[in-house]
Amino acid sequence: MQSIVMTTAVAPRSLGERIQRRRRRLGFLQSELARAIGCGPGAISRFERGRRVPREVLPRLAAALQVDVRDLLADAAAIEPSREECELLQAYRALPDSGQAEIRSLMAALAAGRVAR
């Protein structure tokens, strides 16, 4: 089974700069923001210096900073896919072209709300 390597064209630093700018605008200390999102005291410092922000932390971080996750990320593709996402992508790639087309069609229908959930 081949491994999946995800790369990013945008340096993660821009996400860190957005976090820092918003945190300061709201008047939070790094330790206060870390406590608000349930992370250790050094986590915010690491995020602001450009370390990867774990996918599961992003919603809590955005909520604490009072922004939408999409606004926080803007151009920063600094998110590593989860194990489940990697497994789904591997399974998708293993399908024949017709199977991939069916998956794309189903996803488009789900996104448009045409499939009962």
Q: What is the pLDDT of residues 26-46, one digit of tens each?
A: 899 999 999 999 998 799 999
Same domain, 69 and 87: no
> Which of the pair, 85 or 10, is modelled with greater confidence?
85
Structure confidence at residue 78 as a pLDDT band (50, 70, 90): very low
* Domain assignment present for 53: yes
**What's the rounded Cα separation, in Å, for the pair 49 and 3?**
28
SS3 (DSSP) at 56: coil
Same domain, 19 and 48: yes
> For residue 82, what pLDDT is reported?
64
Cβ–Cβ under 8 Å, residues 19 and 44: yes
Tally of structural domains, the chain: 2
Q: Please give the helix or strand (H or E) that residue 21 lies within, else none.
A: helix 13-26
The region that residue 96 occupies, defined by phi over 0 for left and psi between -120 and 50 for alpha, beta otherwise, is: beta
Strands (E), the chain: none
> For residue 25, what pLDDT is reported?
87
Same domain, 67 and 89: no
**What's the rounded Cα separation, in Å, for the pair 86 and 108?**
20
Cβ–Cβ under 8 Å, residues 102 and 27: no
pLDDT in tens, 92-104: 999 999 999 999 9
pLDDT at residue 12 tops 60: no
Structure confidence at residue 4 as a pLDDT band (50, 70, 90): very low
pLDDT at residue 116 tops 80: no
Percent share of the chain, pLDDT over 90: 40
User: What's 37's domain CATH number?
Assistant: 1.10.260.40
Cβ–Cβ under 8 Å, residues 36 and 27: no
pLDDT at residue 117 tops 90: no
The domain of 58 spans 15-73
